[in-house]
Structure 1
Amino acid sequence: MLSYNKFAAVAFATFVAFQAPAFAADADAVVAKIGDVEIHQSELDLAVANLDPQLAQLPADQKKVAALSAAIDVKLLATAAAAEKLEQSADFQKRMSYLKDRELHNAYFKAHVVDTVTPEEVKARYEKEIAALPKQEEVHARHILVKTEDEAKDVIKQLDAGKDFAELAKEKSTDPNKSEGGDLGYFAHGRMVKEFEDAAFATPVGTYSKTPVKTDFGYHVIKVEDKRVAPPPPFEQVQDQVRQLVMRDKYLDLLNKAKAATKVDIVDESLRKGYDDANKQQLQGGDGQPPAEQPQQ
């Protein structure tokens, strides 16, 4: 079954979506002043977008205060740094050049990947993933758990005599779900201990096990209510993760075209081997990583 967790795991390993903050038309309203230096709403929006993940979980009003505090701290020390002309140092210039390239990369990614994904593409990718999934059987079962084999045999006798399974589970079972009549819901292979699972999948629908099933938990009597092919997760539940997969593929396509058009020469031999191996892996399955959702510090 293509579970939410599977989609999420693949998406996380291969892609983290980038989104630029959205600014209103009057985004440059002044929200604070530090001496003669102004902080505008657009800068505050950027500060909010770049908050530490822990602070990003705060309520909106507290998040704005935390962002404003961070923006003021930045302005204070940036002003002091400018007074010392630190921006003229070679190290600073190199860093600014790198940051410019990274932000251009992010902007290009947004323009040619994020903004180009359509709902139709996402739905088509979902259908493709679903169609490729192997069919997996699930069983819907109830059980009555007791401590001894003799108790389990007595339960079977009472069921043979016409006793209702759910009512008997409420009366006899030691499992915490006894109040639900021993209902375990649907489960697939690998979810239960082997002895229990083997017995459940071998029992016909509408019948119960005629001999006690022993596990480390005790002795079980199992009734099978239904069997089915496991349904896929609803589109609405996983569409965000599927959208990330679509964006990952678009991103990798952009990179591959750019690499084909421009020669990349790695001078260091050890780095060249690692780079070549990484590119082979990317072409085989794709683990290229687009820019992070929030600009890196």
Structure 2
Amino acid sequence: MDNKVLATVEGREITQRDLENAISRFPRERQGYFMGEEGKKQLLNQIISFELIYSYAKDNGIEKDPAYISQVEAAKKEILTQTAINNILADVKVTDDEVKDYYEANQQYFNSEESVTARHILVDSLDEAQEIKKKIDDGMNFEMAALQYSSCPSKEQGGSLGSFTRGRMVPEFEQAAFELEVGELSEPVQTQFGYHLIKVEEKNEGTVKPLEEVYPTIQREILNERESFKYMQFTEGLKSKYDVVLK
């Protein structure tokens, strides 16, 4: 790629790559603006302004300003410390076999829960529920029946409750929903809210997520644990070498 020189300030070149690096530091949603000609021109002027201020600072001895020196020392300390930590932890690894062993020993943590997708119609009395069930059995569309008769706000969506797992509904409703076959219409089910007619649209059995899906999560968890252990172990060892006084 041609790294074109776009400007110079006191002999220092500002190149196309400098401009692209500056663009990359903006949030993604703003980068598009700086890809256009007007945005590039504006950003280049900002970079030139920074270079001008840099020249001014150098010429006016601001490098000797105590505030500047303090910030430089703080930055140097932070960078040096982080580099040392990176070096200390560089040999911490997790093998494929270790990830596999963890997965096989902890499969209970990788279960996708059993779920049901269902619709329902809620009414106040058993008689009303039975009458509506007969109409549906005789051919009335369930969604239309929900819209016409149900007292639940879900009536506006044809009685749809979406997908839910165990523990999300009252026990009587849950038991009936999970026992129904797909497409089957329940008998009236009484709960504290009234009488329900339930129709299951989809059932997903609980399954164990495959290793390929959870591999990155397991690897990261083991790696974090080992890095934390080594970090604490290493710093504890340093306490015998360097003077630490708690006050």
1:85 & 1:244 partners in 2: Cα distance? Answer: 48
Percent sequence identity over aligned pairs: 19
Name whichever of 116-125 and 71-80 sits farther off.
116-125
Which residue of 70, 82, 97 maps to 1:94? 70
2:28 & 2:22 partners in 1: Cα distance? Answer: 11
Are 1:38 and 2:18 counterparts?
A: no
SS of the aligned residue for 2:114 comes to strand
For residues 1-297 of structure 1, the aligned pairs below 5 Å read: 30-40=5-15, 43-44=18-19, 47-48=22-23, 50-51=25-26, 55-59=27-31, 62=34, 65=40, 68=44, 70-107=46-83, 120=96, 124=100, 127=103, 131-133=107-109, 137-149=113-125, 150-158=127-135, 162-163=137-138, 168-174=141-147, 175-178=155-158, 184=161, 186-191=163-168, 194-195=169-170, 198-203=172-177, 204-206=179-181, 208-213=185-190, 220-224=196-200, 226=203, 228-229=205-206, 232=209, 235-236=212-213, 244-245=220-221, 248-263=224-239, 267=245, 269=247
Task: Report if aligned partners of 2:129, 2:196 keep a CA contact under 8 Å in 1.
Answer: yes
User: Structure 1: which 5+ runs fail to align?
Assistant: 1-23, 270-297
1:241 & 1:187 partners in 2: Cα distance? Answer: 25
One-letter amino acid of the counterpart of residue 142, structure 2? A
User: Structure 2: which 5+ runs fail to align?
Assistant: 148-154
Task: Report if aligned partners of 1:208, 1:222 keep a CA contact under 8 Å in 2.
Answer: yes
Q: Size of the alignment, in residue pairs?
A: 229
Task: Report if aligned partners of 2:114, 2:205 keep a CA contact under 8 Å in 1.
Answer: yes
TM-score under structure 2 normalisation? 0.64
1:59 & 1:89 partners in 2: Cα distance? Answer: 35
When Rg is computed on C-alpha atoms for both structures, the one with the higher figure is 2
SS of the aligned residue for 1:210 comes to coil
One-letter amino acid of the counterpart of residue 154, structure 1? E
Residues 70 and 116 of structure 1, relative CA distance in 2, 3 Å threshold: farther
C-alpha RMSD of matched pairs (Å): 4.5
One-letter amino acid of the counterpart of residue 141, structure 2? L
